[in-house]
Structure 1
Amino acid sequence: MRRPVKADLMPWFARALSSSYQHALQRSMHKARARRRGESDLVRVFVNPRDPFGLPLLQALVQLQERFRVRFRLHTVWRLDDKMFPEPVLWGSWAQQDATRIAQLYNFTPPDRPTPLSETELKSATAQLLHAEQANDGLNTAARILADLWSSNSQSEPGPAPTDLHDQALFENEKMLRRLGHYQGSMIWYLGEWFWGVDRLDHLERSLTDQGLNRDASDAITYTRTWADLTSTATRLPDAHPAAETTLEVFFSIRSPYSYLGLERAIQLADAWNTPLQLRPVLPMVMRGQSVPDAKKWYIFHDTKREADKLGIPYGFVADPLGPGVERCYALFEYARSLGRETEYMRTYARAVNAEGIRSETDAGLKVIVERAGLEWQKAETLLNDQSWREWAEVNRKAMYDCGLWGVPSFRYGTLSCWGQDRLWIIEEAIKKKVETSSTQGVCDPTNNAKVTQGQRGN
């Protein structure tokens, strides 16, 4: 009998690590440790003045402090590890735009500064943040510092110059950040879990509620606007409406777990609004020569599981398709598209490798995927060595970069583009705006409930 090899065991290992039992065990250990230290109400907040997401995050935490009996402890960090940010110029431009969208969504002061931050301003703000760490009202002070730094009409006077003590404090904060398992600012750590920016505060709210830290009896979750209302009003649409004339393009990697969630939600969105969907696969970052360090991989794995559970999407029984699995997947994409089944094929493939532990690099595993997607294995098997897909994958990558984006999943709807499965609300808002505009002009009757089929959408 053949002994199991590492590749056989990895899906089961991933399944165990992402299980509810494992999560409960880890949470219990951290709770016990926090109780011993008197830190059950302590939430650590890591901010980097160069990261615009820190501004809306701090404003949100000021609000949470009014609802929960918590101590937010501020930790200022400085480094932006090149390995974690492979496209720093693109990241800087995207981050400010995206952080502004989030701030406006929650009616916060946006980081709308039109000119680049100078090193003098950044160092001064860093020194002020380090002072704020020691203040009783540090959270509010830090929010004001970042609001002034990122303001479009900043008139701040230079603050204290950095000293050796500041450098040592930054070193200790960054050391703690790495020891606890992360690599960037705008992060929150509580009872062993990480929460990024405003987008993950709903998970923090649930955790604080579970600990009985509410100031009142309400268990309402506030920070849900990026996901809770997706497609909630779409069923009132007619078959044809102006918004359906624009295609929703999905740039994704079959290896990316966030792409898996994004694909599931993009299909849902397109179906709900009768919008054409175009899938544009790209190679994973690692296969494009970009590094994904372990700390980043583990955070993505655990965060995807948490998001998937929230969205009701199965995830965790992962058979990583990196390498041969990706290549074989893409080699059959044109075959699936020739039959109008590319969406079903990619969804089936993504579910298989993210939630069912099917090893797509093997013929046995791939055969299951192919036949489930309504394709013929005998035909598919003859196409596995076709390398022509590399040309269109590169075309898709360049198109994604033309949007000012470099990571997946990314989406484009007309001239509008965004990155992340939790940014599909931006696309939906654009669809709603088109529909509302056309309705006021008498273009369509929104009381018609008819739907179009997948074939009519061009998938």
Structure 2
Amino acid sequence: MTLHADLFFSFRSPYSYLAIGRYRAMAAEYDITIALRTVLPIAIRDPGILFTGNPNVGRYIFIDAARSAQMLGIPYRWPRPDPVVQNLATREIAEEQPYIHWLCRMGQAAERRGRGLAFADEVSKIIWDGSTDDWYLEDHMYPACERAGLDFCELDGEAQHDAEALDAEIAANQAALEAAGHWGVPTLVFEGEPFFGQDRIAMAKWRMEQKGLEKRG
């Protein structure tokens, strides 16, 4: 019996990056489909709550994401450029956002083709692994899409020409995340139960095994 789960994911979340490859590997090894449910980062969808309250929150995320990557043996560096154009010192979000809406639409277009998980994994690598300072260029995006079994030009065209419908799907993903009882990413939702964070993968797998998760034959 094939199980199904939804993975709520942001291209700007370091923890999403640290989780995506392991969830992709799980879906390859076990009889489960994991749908990518791309959402906009909090910095875009609700900037009023980003890093509010204790100023140590932002600093902690930077420290913890880096050490988590080191512990997991995953290459990591804060993206250059940042998928969200933001002054991290003042927390000011720029009005012009040339990357994040495009990335989210590309991810949603990939999921329409059943390749969302692969797309998010391959593209997250070029954004976060420190291998390039210009991940958004076609020279990097095209081969990343190719490795995910997708055509960059096709996705890019869809992101431009079907933007309104893709944005509506992304908004529906956000509503589904909230309905599942969470607000952050990465969150895997399995049979209505949310598992938030890159450190809850083993727990999610444990629950799936209780429900009959088996290796692919």
Tell me the TM-score normalised to structure 1 length: 0.39
1:351 partnered with 2:125: yes
Q: Structure 1 residue 360: deviation in Å?
A: 4.2
Which stretches in structure 2 are left out of the alignment for 5+ residues?
Answer: 85-96
1:281-336 deviation digits (Å, cap 9, x = unpaired): 10000101234336433321221121112122221152321132222222223442
Conservation of the 8 A alpha-carbon contact between 1:325 and 1:360 = no
1:251 partnered with 2:26: no
1:268 partnered with 2:33: no
C-alpha distance in 2 between matches for 1:408 and 1:354: 16
C-alpha distance in 2 between matches for 1:300 and 1:292: 12
- Label 1:381 to 1:264 Cα distance change in 2 as closer, same or farther (>3 A): closer
Tell me the TM-score normalised to structure 2 length: 0.78
For 1:321-340, list aligned pairs within 5 A: 321-322=83-84, 323-340=97-114
Conservation of the 8 A alpha-carbon contact between 2:7 and 2:35 = yes
Conservation of the 8 A alpha-carbon contact between 2:5 and 2:190 = yes
Higher relative contact order (CA 8 A, sep 6+): 2
Question: 1:306 maps to which residue?
Answer: 67
Question: 1:292 maps to which residue?
Answer: 50
Question: 2:196 maps to which residue?
Answer: 419
Conservation of the 8 A alpha-carbon contact between 1:317 and 1:357 = no
Question: 1:168 maps to which residue?
Answer: none
Question: 1:108 maps to which residue?
Answer: none
What is the identity percentage for the equivalent residue pairs of Structure 1 and Structure 2? 27
Of 130, 148, 172, the residue aligned with 1:395 is 172
Structure number with bigger Rg: 1
C-alpha distance in 1 between matches for 2:175 and 2:113: 26
Question: 1:406 maps to which residue?
Answer: 183
Question: 1:85 maps to which residue?
Answer: none
- Label 1:398 to 1:430 Cα distance change in 2 as closer, same or farther (>3 A): same
Question: 2:89 maps to which residue?
Answer: none
Conservation of the 8 A alpha-carbon contact between 2:15 and 2:198 = yes
1:451 partnered with 2:216: yes
C-alpha distance in 2 between matches for 1:422 and 1:366: 28
Conservation of the 8 A alpha-carbon contact between 2:35 and 2:116 = no
C-alpha distance in 2 between matches for 1:428 and 1:374: 26
Q: Could you say what secondary structure the match of 1:247 adopts?
A: strand
Q: Which amino acid aligns with 2:37?
A: R
C-alpha distance in 1 between matches for 2:136 and 2:45: 19
Equivalenced residue count is 197
Q: Which amino acid aligns with 1:340?
A: G
Conservation of the 8 A alpha-carbon contact between 2:15 and 2:186 = yes
C-alpha distance in 2 between matches for 1:373 and 1:271: 13
Conservation of the 8 A alpha-carbon contact between 1:411 and 1:418 = yes
Q: Could you say what secondary structure the match of 2:83 adopts?
A: coil
Q: Structure 1 residue 338: deviation in Å?
A: 4.5
Q: CA RMSD in A?
A: 2.5
C-alpha distance in 2 between matches for 1:332 and 1:424: 25
- Label 1:339 to 1:400 Cα distance change in 2 as closer, same or farther (>3 A): closer
Q: Which amino acid aligns with 1:419?
A: F
1:9-61 deviation digits (Å, cap 9, x = unpaired): xxxxxxxxxxxxxxxxxxxxxxxxxxxxxxxxxxxxxxxxxxxxxxxxxxxxx
- Label 1:429 to 1:372 Cα distance change in 2 as closer, same or farther (>3 A): closer
Q: Structure 1 residue 411: deviation in Å?
A: 1.3
For 1:207-246, list aligned pairs within 5 A: 241=1, 244=2, 246=3
Q: Structure 1 residue 344: deviation in Å?
A: 1.4
Q: Which amino acid aligns with 1:404?
A: G
- Label 1:357 to 1:413 Cα distance change in 2 as closer, same or farther (>3 A): same
- Label 1:389 to 1:339 Cα distance change in 2 as closer, same or farther (>3 A): closer
